[in-house]
């Protein structure tokens, strides 16, 4: 069965973005981009909430074509364009985009069907609300938290509204040159 793997940056105080969605406090480095490249090598589907999808779709389809595109931009843009994009949304209706599927109801059934299809892993980059919904339904298999060495005090919390307790097992931890600590958990 395919796994759903979350990749999420968080502050030390548990926020994934500032009050207005700011993410300028997130630290990244080449070693982290290489790790993300391994994630995408093992996945063929990206799962997003509507807001994150709109942000990603505004950038990644052409990011690799820019004259100053980095190695990561080129690789991730290629992966993004080849992958199925699944969007959890109750407001998006039209689905005229290639390789895009909208799930607006029957979350558990639709996600379980997706997980049972042939293919590689399903990645969630960001998408706090979608992650929270899937977490509450016990649908997340692995979680990579990238804990940034910053306290932002207020913002969008990582685990807001979690009603389903999940015991997790730490698989590995990794310190990056940027000062970020990567924590890789699996569901028990």
pLDDT tens track of the chain, all 188 residues? 999 999 999 999 999 999 999 999 999 999 999 999 999 999 999 999 999 999 999 999 999 999 999 999 999 999 999 999 999 998 887 666 778 999 999 999 999 999 999 999 999 998 999 999 999 999 999 999 999 999 999 999 998 888 877 789 999 999 999 999 999 999 98
pLDDT reported for residue 92: 83
Task: Classify burial at 150, counting beta carbons within 10 Å of its beta carbon; exposed 0-12, middle 13-18, buried 19 or more.
Answer: middle
pLDDT reported for residue 163: 84
pLDDT reported for residue 101: 92
Q: Give the single-character DSSP code of 31.
A: H
pLDDT reported for residue 85: 96
What domains appear along the chain, each with residue ranges and CATH number? 4-187 (3.40.430.10)
pLDDT reported for residue 79: 97
Residue 70, token pair as written in the block: 């980095």
**For the whole model, what pTM was predicted?**
0.93
């Amino acid at each position: 069965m395919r796994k759903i793997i979350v990749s999420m940056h968080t502050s030390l105080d548990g926020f994934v973005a500032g009050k207005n969605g700011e993410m300028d406090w997130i630290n990244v480095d080449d070693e982290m981009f290489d790790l993300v490249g391994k994630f995408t090598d093992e996945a063929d589907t990206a799962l997003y909430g509507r807001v994150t999808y709109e942000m990603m779709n505004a950038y990644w389809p052409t990011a690799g074509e820019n004259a100053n595109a980095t190695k990561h931009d080129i690789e991730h843009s290629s992966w993004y364009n080849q992958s199925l994009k699944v969007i959890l949304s109750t407001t998006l209706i039209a689905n005229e985009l290639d390789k895009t599927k909208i799930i607006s109801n029957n979350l558990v059934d639709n996600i379980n069907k997706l997980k049972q299809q042939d293919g590689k892993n399903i990645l969630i980059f960001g998408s706090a609300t979608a992650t929270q919904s899937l977490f509450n339904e016990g649908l997340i298999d692995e979680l990579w938290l990238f804990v940034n060495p910053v306290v932002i005090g207020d913002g969008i919390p990582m685990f807001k509204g979690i009603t389903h307790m999940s015991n997790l097992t730490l698989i590995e931890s990794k310190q990056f040159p940027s000062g970020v600590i990567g924590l890789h958990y699996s569901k028990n």
